[in-house]
Amino acid sequence: MTKKYWVILFFLLGAGALFCAIELRMKAASFREDILCKDCNVVLITMTNLRFDHVSGNGYFRDTTPNIDALMKKGVVFENAFSHSSWTLPEAITMYTGLYPFEHTIMNRHLNLMLDHKTMTIVDALKSQGYVTALFSGGYDYDEQYGLTNRFDIHEKCTKNNEQDPGILDYGELSCSIPKAMEWLRQNDSKKFFMHVQGFDAHCPFNQKEHFFDVDYSGKIDFSGCIWTFGKEKPVYKNGKEYYSVLGSNGNASDKLLLDQRDIEHLKSIYDESIFRADEYIGQFLAEIDRLGLTNKTIIIFTSEHGDMFGKYGRFMRGGPLVGTFYDDVIHIPLVFRIPSIDHEEVNTLVSQIDLFPTIMSLLGIEISTRISGNSLVPNILGKTKGSEYIYAGSTFTPEDGNMFMSHPTKTLLIRNVEWKLIKTEMLEDGKIEYELFNLVNDPAELVDVKTTEQEAFELLRGKLDHWEKSFNF
């Protein structure tokens, strides 16, 4: 079956799922009046590619995020929040619509797909309530062509515009978008607003001019471009020393590099430096909100669309939803709500980015009818629910024609609870399916696949995942 056929099939089936689904009623119920923040402003901050475990407030050994940590100490911290895809475009639209990627179907950049204008988003819902809406982004997956960000009253994009490698280096950063957001805020602080500030600071390439987390590195690897693999890679050995073969984006995109463990540790350190620099700008932004007297009437949300990979199973920088990109390195993300009426709280229930839309509506006391799959997290905050027993994730990836790294469309799915995690990956042209099962209690790093030894857990999760997958008519 040709790639073109699969692309058309995905689009038609996804659209059919949207039109045939039963409309659900999302209510701003099950909350106490004293946690409501009626007519409050809403500020969403996303640092794309930020891993949960590289936030210093989550126990990381480096002081990467002092300003985010300070926000966490004042906010509701969701310890077990997960994304639904391994790259930004489908996840961003999921956050805004409360729909899974298989429902909204915007999963690939190059297919010229646009979110249905009838699909309600956070932007539409808040504009209908008199909110002014503004987005300051790094562009790329937040481009207007996908039918989401064109709905904002104002959208200002930041890009690096590097002529040598525009396909990779044009991801804009918070160092650009936050100053623009602060200027807009000063001019609109008297209005009721929804603002999203986003940057790709934690996305490769990590090109800080000065290094401070690993000053003793003396290796010869050029880290000014992206370091990639596009599948599981076994280590290679030279003179008894272990290396991983990777692709570097500088010069020829197919340049092969060999990284040893010392090189990998340095790669992590410059990733951490990118996080630290972005955190400084976030601190400035939060201070400006406070200086303008907006803190007590503003809900502040901090999160990331997804994380990244640094060598587990020989994988670096995700490389699309191929086998392994749904490890917790990628889908376990930070999520913090700073709600004026609530003190610091830690919530351990399983939650997902799909819950962002209904949670914002609940906190604002807004009732709205729309088709939605997410759930308000207000009951989780209040301790009135044990949360979801299982969470799900899933998306497809179709490489564009001529892609030198990947040629086959894939579908990756996930089911997870507090103990078990099952990943299913299907190569759609030949129907080849691979499963990976992990016991998260005994193996939180997901290093031992136990699908052959834990048959009861495997069959239970596979049945539930198959049922979930079939609900989208794929």
**Whole-model pTM over 0.75:** yes
pLDDT at 15 over 80: no
pLDDT at 309 over 80: yes
Q: Single out the residue of 449, 386, 448 nearest to residue 418, CA to CA.
A: 386
Q: What is the pLDDT of residues 48-97, one digit of tens each?
A: 999 999 999 999 999 999 999 999 999 999 999 999 999 899 999 999 99
Domain span at 181: 26-205+272-405
Longest dimension (CA), the chain: 67
| Residues 29, 359: Cα–Cα separation, whole Å | 11
The rounded mean pLDDT for the chain is 87
The residue written with tokens 């991801």 in the block is 171
- For residues 273 and 384, which has the higher predicted lDDT (pLDDT)? 273
Is residue 68, in this structure, part of any structural domain at all?
yes
- pLDDT value of position 207: 67
- CB 23: neighbour CB atoms within 10 A? 8
Is residue 217, in this structure, part of any structural domain at all?
no
Q: What residues are paired with 245 via a beta bridge?
A: 258
pLDDT at 279 over 80: yes
What is the amino acid identity at position 438?
F
Is residue 50, in this structure, part of any structural domain at all?
yes
Q: What is the pLDDT of residues 139-191, one digit of tens each?
A: 989 999 999 999 999 999 987 654 444 444 568 899 999 999 999 999 999 99
Question: Which DSSP symbol is given to 300?
Answer: E
Question: Residue 90: which CATH number?
Answer: 3.40.720.10
Total count of domains within the chain = 1
230, HSE (Cβ side, Cα atoms, 13 Å)? 16
Cα angle value 265/271/277 (rounded, 5°): 135
Question: Which DSSP symbol is given to 405?
Answer: S
% of the chain surpassing 90 pLDDT: 68
- For residues 301 and 229, which has the higher predicted lDDT (pLDDT)? 301
- For residues 400 and 112, which has the higher predicted lDDT (pLDDT)? 112
**pLDDT mean over 128-145:** 95
Sequence-ordered list of residues with C-beta below 8 angstroms from that of 240, at least 6 positions apart, any chain: none
- pLDDT value of position 20: 35
pLDDT at 283 over 50: yes
In the chain the first and final C-alpha atoms are separated, in Å, by: 15
Q: Where are the beta strands (DSSP E) in 288-390?
A: 298-303, 332-333, 335-338, 345-352, 368-369
Is residue 64, in this structure, part of any structural domain at all?
yes
364-373: b (≥16 Cβ within 10 Å) or e: bebebebbbb
- pLDDT value of position 323: 58
And the tokens for 454? 């834990």
And the tokens for 102? 């298989």
**pLDDT mean over 28-43:** 73
Identify whether the C-beta of residue 82 lies closer than 8 Å to the C-beta of residue 60. Answer: no
| Residues 252, 248: Cα–Cα separation, whole Å | 8
- Is residue 125 packed enough to be buried (19+ CB in 10 Å), middle (13-18) or exposed (0-12)? buried
Is residue 8, in this structure, part of any structural domain at all?
no
The H-or-E segment that residue 435 falls in is strand 432-439
- pLDDT value of position 205: 84
DSSP 135-203: EEE--GGG-GGGSSGGGSSEEEE-----TTSHHHHT---HHHHHHHHHHHHHHHTTS-EEEEEEE-TTS
| Residues 25, 409: Cα–Cα separation, whole Å | 35
Is residue 162, in this structure, part of any structural domain at all?
yes
Q: What residues are paired with 301 via a beta bridge?
A: 44, 337
Residues in the chain: 474
The H-or-E segment that residue 3 falls in is helix 3-20
Identify whether the C-beta of residue 232 lies closer than 8 Å to the C-beta of residue 323. Answer: yes
% of the chain surpassing 70 pLDDT: 86
**pLDDT mean over 265-294:** 97
Is residue 441, in this structure, part of any structural domain at all?
no
Identify whether the C-beta of residue 41 lies closer than 8 Å to the C-beta of residue 294. Answer: yes
Lowest-pLDDT range of 325-329, 340-344, 400-404: 400-404
5-17: b (≥16 Cβ within 10 Å) or e: ebbeebeeebeeb
Is residue 17, in this structure, part of any structural domain at all?
no
**pLDDT mean over 361-365:** 95
